[in-house]
Structure 1
């Protein structure tokens, strides 16, 4: 009797696991599809609103200021230790190789090509995504989104597009800020702690770093900001279940943003290294 029970329960457990797995995959694909719809509608809507002179510049500027207030100071606090760590770790390796003069090039390239875009993306994915998801999620559970739809007002045009524009404004500025602070802090450590001459630091930095590297860094920050705002808006607009639902939307927005940024950064880095390799002379 016990053998019959075990024989019948094992396939049942397998069916449950298989069903849960398939349901999770299907739900993830549907969520991805809704995110793509929001991205497409908001991008096309932003262009049409600008062309029709219906773009909400005031709301976009207000959202930009809100993003700046929650990300500017953390960006500086992240950039300083990041520049110091890169300078110390890379400086020790270069010192063992007897190439101290190359510290400016390696430290600067590390901050510009990888450190600043990733720090910008993670910061926007943490502070920015949580702020956007919390705002839209609170509006959703208060039924403000349903009220807008009832009045014939598109939530995408009224709420999502200004936040998308704000993120596209703040992301490159935040990236440049992190680049500047990171390079300056790395320079201070290299000159003050590792006895690198200022002239050789800036000479090698200028020899190996190009304007293209800066543009690639800015474009990566724009891509990361775009992903963050789409994910945050999608989770916020679909929040349900009261305050607990808002908290779940915020957590999901932050986690998904960080994961997507890490995956996309890997792909973008591979593509840029294939077509725009680092200059060696």
Structure 2
């Protein structure tokens, strides 16, 4: 009897967690459009997430782009079509490198930082103090962080594309001796405005989802400082899983929409 009760309790725990997450997400979406909006917290969190994410973004973008361009140009050289290196660089950077780097950075740096911040506030009972004073912590703390993560994800995606294409240009022109004019003219051969829009939409979804997961794990943390560490680790895992799933689905929808 005791074993069955423990098994039922363990089985119900993830279900309660999923229900709590969607409940908080619904409250967040509702309170986004309800005044007053915490502008100060939104600006501070946007700067906070951007500060912890910009360096990892740059460190990941250049190696990924150079690796893609180098591998793709070897294949093009075999076919005698090295002048189309800009086409491959644009397609890979906009459609895949941008989203993948955004996933890695948002999940590994931005979301964990937000979760640790909210988790520390939770174990210090700051959220309970806000509730006692009649202040909704979802509106004052969660909404600004979710919107900040969404905004920074858009900025990161655009940064990845710009830095990636610049790095690919320098590598192709000065290392692999591709004609600069041919590289630039090939950028828009396959990749168009629709692909850029889809990449930005994916980035916004990444930021929104990562922000919601990080905030939920932060506000629901328990067990003291050790619980904060566990929540941060769980945030990385769950955010990776969710964002890669979103990337697959969004990429498939984007391919169908642009054909």
TM-score band w.r.t. shorter chain: over 0.9
DSSP 3-state at the match of 1:31: helix
Q: Quick one: distance in 2 between partners of 1:94 and 1:24?
A: 55
- CA 1:159 to 1:99, structure 2 compared with 1: closer, same or farther past 3 Å? same
Instruction: Note if contact 2:37-2:140 (Cα within 8 Å) is conserved in structure 1.
Output: no
- CA 1:114 to 1:23, structure 2 compared with 1: closer, same or farther past 3 Å? farther
Question: Given the alignment, which residue of 223, 227, 232 partners 2:214?
Answer: 232
Moved more, 95-104 or 220-229: 95-104
1:36 is aligned to 22
**Structure 1 outlier segments of 4+, above 3 Å:** 15-26
Q: Quick one: distance in 2 between partners of 1:194 and 1:26?
A: 58
- CA 1:89 to 1:24, structure 2 compared with 1: closer, same or farther past 3 Å? farther
- CA 1:181 to 1:38, structure 2 compared with 1: closer, same or farther past 3 Å? same
* CA RMSD in angstroms, aligned pairs only: 2.0
Encode CA deviations 1:205-252: one digit per residue, 9 max, x unaligned.
122221111111111000000110000000011111111000001111
Q: Quick one: distance in 1 between partners of 2:3 and 2:182?
A: 61
> What's the CA shift for 1:47?
1.2
Instruction: Note if contact 2:99-2:203 (Cα within 8 Å) is conserved in structure 1.
Output: yes
2:77 is aligned to 95
The higher radius of gyration belongs to 1
Q: Quick one: distance in 2 between partners of 1:176 and 1:265?
A: 16
Question: Given the alignment, which residue of 90, 115, 140 partners 2:97?
Answer: 115
> What's the CA shift for 1:56?
1.1
Matches within 5 A, 1:211-230: 211-230=193-212
2:147 is aligned to 165
Q: Quick one: distance in 2 between partners of 1:215 and 1:16?
A: 55
Moved more, 29-38 or 173-182: 29-38
Instruction: Note if contact 1:136-1:233 (Cα within 8 Å) is conserved in structure 2.
Output: yes
> What's the CA shift for 1:193?
1.8
Tell me the TM-score normalized by structure 1: 0.87
Tell me whether 1:195 sits opposite 2:177 in the alignment: yes
- CA 1:105 to 1:137, structure 2 compared with 1: closer, same or farther past 3 Å? same
1:271 is aligned to 253
Stretches of structure 1 that go unaligned for 5 or more consecutive residues are: 1-14
> What's the CA shift for 1:91?
1.0
Encode CA deviations 1:38-63: one digit per residue, 9 max, x unaligned.
111111101122xxxx1111110011
Moved more, 92-101 or 176-185: 92-101
- CA 1:146 to 1:108, structure 2 compared with 1: closer, same or farther past 3 Å? same
